[in-house]
A and B are shown apart, each in its own frame.
Chain A
Amino acid sequence: MTQPSTIAVTDITQMIDPVTFIKSAVDARTVNAVAELLTKLKVVHEDAYAFDEKDPTKGWVEGQLHWYPVGGELANARSIQLADKPEFPIAERTVNAHEALIELMRRRELIANPGATPPKSPRDAVTRYFDIPTLDELPLHDGGLPPKGPLYKRARELAAKVRVKAQPVKSPEKIAGKKEASKEWCVSIEDEGIGQPPGAVHSSLLSLGASDKADKPYLIGLFGQGGSSAYRAAQYSWIVSRRAPDLLGGAEDGVGWTIIKRIAPPGIRRVYWAYLAAHPDGRVPVFPVTVAATIGLVHGTRIAHVGYDFGRFDVVLTLYRALNHLLFNPVLPYELYTGRESPDVMFGNAYRLAKAKVKSDTKESKQPGSGDVSVYRTFPEQLVEYK
Chain B
Amino acid sequence: MGTQSTLEKLWSPVPVPTYGHVKIRAVVLARKKTDASAPAPAPAHDEEDPVIESGDGPLDAYLERPRHGKHCIVFLINGQRHHAWDNTFIARELGFKHIRVRTIIMVDLDGLKPEAVADIINGSRQGFYEGGVYASIRERVIATLKDDPDLKKEEAKAEQEIADAATGDESIQKKLDELIEEHHPAGDHQAEGATPTDAPAAENGMFGRKLVRQDVVLDGTRGTTAIGPTLTIEPNVSVLRLRPDAPRTVVIRSSPPEEWANKIEVAVARQTDPALQVALEHAPDHLRLTLTFVEPKDFDEDEYPVRTKLKVFARFKSYDEVRALERDVIINPPPEPPPPRPPPVLSKSPSFLRVTSRVPVKLVPGGPSTHVRLRWDGEDSLLIGSPAPWQFVARCTSTSHTFPPITLGIVGGGKLELLLDTPAELAPLSMLDFEVEARGPAHELLRATFQGQVPPPEEKEEKEVEAKKVKAFAPQLVQRKPNYQIVIVKKKTYDLSTCWEGKSWTDHEAGYFTEPTATAPLTLYLNEDYAPLEAYRAKMMDKKLDAKTVAERLAAYKSLVLFHLYQMHKAKKRRESEAQQDPDSVKVPEDIDFREEVNRVASTIVLASK
* Chain A residues with CB below 8 A from B80, complex form: 91, 95, 220, 326-328, 330
- Tell me, in angstroms, the Cα distance from A320 to B328 when the chains sit together: 61
Contact with B along A316-357 (1 / 0, CB 8 A): 111011101111111100000000001111011111111111
Interface assignment of B173: CB less than 8 Å from any CB of chain A: yes
CB distance B76 to A375 under 8 Å? no
Segment at the interface with B among A106-114, A134-142, A164-172, A175-183: A134-142
Residues of A within 8 A of B47 (CB): 342-345
A4 at interface (Cβ–Cβ under 8 A)? Answer: no
In the complex, which residues 49-96 of chain A have their Cβ closer than 8 Å to any Cβ of chain B? 82-84, 87-88, 91-92, 95
Q: How far is the CB of B90 from chain A (nearest CB, A)?
A: 16
User: For residue A84, which residues in chain B have a CB less than 8 angstroms away from its CB?
Assistant: 124, 126
- Say which one of B164-172, B368-376, B392-400 lies at the interface with A: B164-172
Closest residue of chain A to B124 (Cβ to Cβ) is A82
Residues 1-28 of chain B: 1 if any A CB is under 8 Å from the residue's CB, otherwise 0?
A: 0011111100000000000000001010
CB within 8 Å for A328 and B173 given contacts A84-B126, A343-B47: no
| Minimum Cβ distance to chain B for residue A164 (Å) | 14
What B residues does A3 contact at CB under 8 A? none
B202 at the interface (CB under 8 A from A): no
A9 CA / B102 CA spacing, docked (Å): 60
The answer to whether B489 touches A377, judged by C-beta atoms less than 8 angstroms apart, is no
- The one of A95, A366, A376 in contact with B173, judged by C-beta atoms closer than 8 angstroms, is A376
Chain A interface size, as a band, is 35 or more
On chain B, the residues within 8 Å of A280 by CB distance are none
Q: B residues within 8 A CB of A372?
A: 165, 490, 492-493
Given A374-B168, A376-B166, is A381 in contact with B280 using a C-beta cutoff of 8 Å? Answer: yes
Evaluate whether A329 and B209 lie within 8 angstroms (CB atoms) in the complex, with A381-B280, A384-B268, A385-B272 already known. Answer: no
Binary CB contact string for chain B from 43 to 57 against chain A (1 if under 8 A, 0 otherwise): 000011110110000
Q: Interface SS of chain B: helix, strand, loop or mixed? A: mixed
Known A95-B80, A123-B386, A326-B80; contact A366-B267, beta-carbon cutoff 8 A: no
Contact A375 B79 (CB under 8 A): no
Contact indicator A330/B167 (Cβ below 8 Å): no
Give A350's nearest chain B residue, CB to CB: B106
Name the interface residues of B156-189: CB closer than 8 Å to any CB of A. 160-170, 173, 177
Q: CB distance A133 to B385 under 8 Å?
A: yes
B269 & A373 in contact (Cβ 8 Å cutoff): no
Min CB distance, A92 to chain B, in Å? 8
A181 to chain B, nearest CB (A): 24
Count of chain B residues with a beta carbon within 8 Å of a chain A beta carbon:
98
Whether A115 is near chain B, meaning CB under 8 Å from some CB there, is: no
Is residue B470 contacting chain A, with contact meaning CB distance below 8 A? no
**Interface assignment of B472: CB less than 8 Å from any CB of chain A:** no
Residues of B within 8 A of A358 (CB): 4-8, 412-413
Q: Which residues of B contact A220 (CB under 8 A)?
A: 78, 80
Max chain A C-beta neighbours (<10 A), residue from B48, B50, B63, B110: B48
Closest to B169 in A: A374
- Tell me whether B64 and A364 are in contact (CB under 8 A): no
Known: A325-B71, A327-B79, A327-B81. A375 touches B485 (CB 8 A): yes
Distance in angstroms between the alpha carbons of A88 and B123 in the assembled complex:
13
Q: Which residue of A lies closest to B3 (CB)?
A: A356
B270 contacts A by Cβ under 8 Å: yes
- Assess whether B384 is interfacial by the CB under 8 Å rule: yes
A-B interface, 9 closest residue pairs, ranked by CB to CB distance from nearest: A374-B167, A329-B79, A325-B64, A365-B161, A384-B269, A356-B5, A375-B166, A373-B165, A137-B384
